[in-house]
């Protein structure tokens, strides 16, 4: 799957940021502005360990991401609430939660929205897990055609904008 190949590239970049961050407090999100499909495609990847502990920290003492589909859905909804996009005009882009899957020690959460042509600017807000752990880092890679832009969210970072 293309998302996994993109994730591996993003993970290699995150490792270059050094060992100062807790090795499991790193998440990755890929945003593909896919003119071929006509959609903005978003894939978030969190370690199961971090995701489960986040749910426990936020009041779900019985969090079981591996065995409980309701817990998986709760985490996917949590991610969707803590992620937002706005177009070049500043108008929020309404994302649809497509689903999630557990794979190789991670939970993947997928979202999408219609894409109405090339974008000149995109504003991204991603604070999932950062309100729980100040050392959480999330690398967001945005792809449009052959262009790739990356944003690193950490600490109390707010929304960030990239131009194409």
Residue-wise pLDDT tens for the chain (164 aa)? 544 444 444 444 444 443 344 446 899 999 999 999 999 999 999 999 899 888 888 877 788 888 889 999 999 999 999 999 999 888 999 999 999 999 999 999 999 999 988 899 999 999 999 988 889 999 999 999 999 999 999 988 999 999 99
Q: Are 82 and 159 in contact (CB under 8 A)?
A: no
Q: How many domains does the chain have?
A: 1
**89 occurs within a structural domain:** yes
Does 160 map to a domain? no
- Assign 91 to helix, strand or coil: coil
The answer to whether residue 150 is domain-embedded is no
Tell how strand 39-47 and strand 92-93 pair up. Answer: unpaired
Q: Which alpha helices (DSSP H) does 45-127 contain, by range?
A: 48-57, 69-81
Indicate whether 43 belongs to any domain: yes
Q: What's the domain range around 51? A: 2-15+31-145
For residues 38 and 6, what is the distance between their CA atoms, to the nearest angstrom?
19
With respect to residue 75, please indicate whether it lies within any of the assigned structural domains: yes
In a domain, 73, yes or no: yes
Residue 117, domain member (yes or no): yes
For residues 140 and 152, what is the distance between their CA atoms, to the nearest angstrom? 6
Q: How far apart are CA 67 and CA 87, in angstroms?
A: 37
Residue 164 counted as domain residue:
no
């Amino acid at each position: 799957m293309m998302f996994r190949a993109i994730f591996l590239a993003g993970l290699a970049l995150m490792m270059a940021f050094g060992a100062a961050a807790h090795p499991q407090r790193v998440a990755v999100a890929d945003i593909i502005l896919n003119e071929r499909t006509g959609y903005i495609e978003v894939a978030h990847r969190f370690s199961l360990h971090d995701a489960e502990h986040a749910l426990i920290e936020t009041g779900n003492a019985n969090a079981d991401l591996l065995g409980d589909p309701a817990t998986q859905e709760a985490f996917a909804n949590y991610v969707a609430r803590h992620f937002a996009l706005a177009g070049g005009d500043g108008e929020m882009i309404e994302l649809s939660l497509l689903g999630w899957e557990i794979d190789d020690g991670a939970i993947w959460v997928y979202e999408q929205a219609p894409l109405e042509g090339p974008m000149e600017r995109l504003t991204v807000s991603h604070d999932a897990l950062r309100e729980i752990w100040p050392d959480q880092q999330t690398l967001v890679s945005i792809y449009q055609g052959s262009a790739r832009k990356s944003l690193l969210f950490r600490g109390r970072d707010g929304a960030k904008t990239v131009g194409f």
